Structure 1
Amino acid sequence: MPSALVLGAGIMGLSAAWGLSRAGWSVTLVEQDPVPNPRGASVDDHRLIRHAYGAAAGYMRMVDEAYAAWDLLWADLGEVLHVPTGVLALGESGEGWLAESRAGLAAAGHAFEDLAPGELAARYPMLRPAGGGEAFHMAAGGVLLARRIVAALARHLRRRGVAIEPGRAMAVDPARASLRLADGATRQADLLVLAAGPWAPRLVPGLAGRVVPSRQIVVYLEPPPAWRAAWAAAPMLLDLSEAGGFYAVPPVVGTPLKIGDHRFSRQGDAEDAREAGAAEAEAILALARPRLAGAAAYRVLGARACYYDVTGDERFIVAPLGPHAMVMSGFSGHGFKFAPLLGLAVAREDRSGLAAWAAGEGGPLPG
């Protein structure tokens, strides 16, 4: 049985281990922190899955494949950790991300409904159609319960016989498919998969500069009583203006309402504390207030930072490092939805075309 060594037990490393184990590999997974890792970008209440993708038509096309991979994972886990919500996309004008998403969705035959400002206010009274603006609603899309997914997948892998070992990698040798750990020990296998998130640029030659850590702040809110029922039934909200939009995740299955900035700071260090400062939280609230009716009545429950690994063009890096190693990196804020699909792809015997496909450059994965 071939052996695989996976570094990192975030959603990408766990998904790679899942795909490899299903394909018949003996897998060892090495993680520096507890699993689920409270410092990991994967470990939050939720992540989003949706087809609206601006001009990134390659990733829009991958979403249907991603849904199929999630269905396979749900069958393995014995539970579905996804809440359908639909998508509400907003914009100050019909240009930019909103227009590009409309065009891409229409070309691919995905159904969506345009909403005039008056319709927006009537359907979603907790929102203000700031500046008039434009909007569309899409029934497909939902919330992935990220923290629960990571925990359930780790449990499943252990049941499958995947070894999850503690260890902090200090150096990697792609040619030998090996890791040197902080305690001086080494680990080696037939295949090494590096899925170390924002820590990866320190370890992988050539990745530093292409991928940078990015400190991202999210704020958790309790809506005022008048709007709680509306938010509980709300779709995910994407207001992705480059001038300062935000996203909002509705309070599903007991989670809080969450808002964040879709833009990337491209600043900070993965070792930084995850507590968010008051000024950081206020910057996110300032983005959302123009869209929230009665914004002053919302109660702030907390705020935290997570660290993404970000490329300049927000394209994923899933590429070989020689014949015995691979790197999975640069997943920005939008990689979670594709994790099981990418894990299955890494486990393929034929990985030709994988790098271009994962970068959103083509159609279905070749082969």
Structure 2
Amino acid sequence: MYDVVVVGAGIEGSATAYNLAKNGEKTLLLEQFPLPHSRGSSHGQSRITRVEYGEDDHYAVMMKEGGKLWRSLERESGTSLLVNCGCLSVSKQGNSYMKATISSLSRNGIKYDILTPGDLRDRYPMLSLPPDYVGVFDYSGGVLRADKALRAFQTLFVKHGGELRDGEEVTGILPGSDVTIVTSQGEYRARKVVLTLGPWAPKFLPKLGINLPLETVLILVLYWKEKKDGEFSAGRFPAFRNIRENGGVYALPSLEYPGHAKVCYHDGPETDPDSRDMAYTGRILSTMKSYVREHLPSLQDTPSIVESCMYTNTPDKQFILDRHPIHRNIIIGAGFSGHGFKLAPVVGKILSELAMDKTPSYDLTPCRIDRFSSTKARM
């Protein structure tokens, strides 16, 4: 018997398990694949971190605490996790998202610069942007060392008394006053269960009577070689976001593979996570080659390294952080829509609060299951 079983040891599940164990809860963390693995959404060496969040100001508020919690994790783990190189967002003048971004940064007291087209040309000569583009530079942003962050949460979870079992797939959940968790190797019982299933959420949650409008998409993670050594180093090139109507693009400085910047399209083809390698990605690759050729001419226009990742998107791109509508001892964290990694310390805190029957630290109205009018629980 456990106080809580967490299913899924990605960044959200690992952060949740860490918070539970640190609060004295007897916790089991289950992962279907042997760790570490690259089949879900939490692998890889880097993620963008930023406070600015456009219209979604509740995430900006969360990120103010998130930055402090990442620094706390650094101290506790003795591992450097954050590269504070700033985050530059660019778009056409008059873009509503950019206006909302500036308002959000101002409200939350975050230092920022507004950059004119001339400023962008002067500061970032490696960029070739349209003449009507403007920018916002968020001084609090930068890069998270993703693999190290995931490992830090898992290591500290075990250090605080948690039990981690990998290579053990959960095949069923039997609700009740105590929940039975059926796996490929046996059964466990717990007073509470937290489901952080990543791209497997839309395949598993219907077994519990919950049908959510989740879409799993494959993201190409592309690395492009510099033409001039050091031009995309973290000292010269920040985390970068191009807000566009026809699909956003993001980039990170050369931190992972020597002399290579990471430049990716923020979308991809809908894909079953169990057959992701079958997805057609030719259109995305062609789009990104054209983008790099036009806007990042200081990079080679063919990627040297091609990797992949999964997003699990909700229609409104808001998270799902809620209890099961009927079985209140089953807690669900899902639909992180490609922007959940940076918020993992806060998400882990919130999901652990729900599992410990505490009042959540934040208003979770935007993250409730019942916002989807067609969602029905049958059990």
Task: Please give the TM-score of this superposition, normalised by the length of structure 1.
Answer: 0.89
Partners of 2:365 and 2:175 lie apart in 1 by 20
Q: Tell me: CA distance 1:66–1:294, structure 2 relative to 1, closer, same or farther (3 Å).
A: closer
C-alpha contact (below 8 Å) 1:215/1:267 kept by paired residues: yes
Q: Tell me: CA distance 1:230–1:180, structure 2 relative to 1, closer, same or farther (3 Å).
A: closer
Q: Offset of 1:226 from its aligned partner?
A: 5.6
Secondary structure in structure 2 of the residue aligned to 1:171: strand
1:1-367 equivalent positions in 2, closer than 5 A: 3-165=3-165, 166-175=167-176, 176-183=178-185, 185-204=186-205, 205-225=208-228, 228=231, 233-252=236-255, 256-262=260-266, 264-265=267-268, 267-274=270-277, 277-295=281-299, 297-298=300-301, 300-321=303-324, 322-348=327-353, 349-353=356-360, 356-357=363-364, 359=366
Query: Aligned pair count?
Result: 358
**Greater CA drift, 149-158 or 135-144:** 149-158
> CA-atom RMSD, angstroms?
2.5
Secondary structure in structure 1 of the residue aligned to 2:364: helix
C-alpha contact (below 8 Å) 2:12/2:196 kept by paired residues: yes
Secondary structure in structure 1 of the residue aligned to 2:308: strand
Q: Which runs of 5+ in 1 are unaligned?
A: 362-367
Q: Which runs of 5+ in 2 are unaligned?
A: 369-379
Q: Offset of 1:360 from its aligned partner?
A: 6.4
Amino acid corresponding to residue 318 of structure 2 in structure 1: R
Per-residue displacement from partner, 1:310-355 (whole Å, max 9, x unpaired)?
1111111111122322111111111111111221222234444568
Secondary structure in structure 2 of the residue aligned to 1:228: coil
Match of 2:375 in 1: none
Match of 2:373 in 1: none
Amino acid corresponding to residue 179 of structure 2 in structure 1: A
C-alpha contact (below 8 Å) 1:20/1:346 kept by paired residues: no
Task: Please give the TM-score of this superposition, normalised by the length of structure 2.
Answer: 0.86
Partners of 2:256 and 2:271 lie apart in 1 by 32
C-alpha contact (below 8 Å) 2:322/2:367 kept by paired residues: no
C-alpha contact (below 8 Å) 1:20/1:27 kept by paired residues: yes
Q: Tell me: CA distance 1:219–1:206, structure 2 relative to 1, closer, same or farther (3 Å).
A: farther
C-alpha contact (below 8 Å) 1:39/1:306 kept by paired residues: yes
C-alpha contact (below 8 Å) 1:266/1:310 kept by paired residues: no
Q: Offset of 1:282 from its aligned partner?
A: 2.4
Secondary structure in structure 2 of the residue aligned to 1:338: helix
Q: Offset of 1:3 from its aligned partner?
A: 2.0
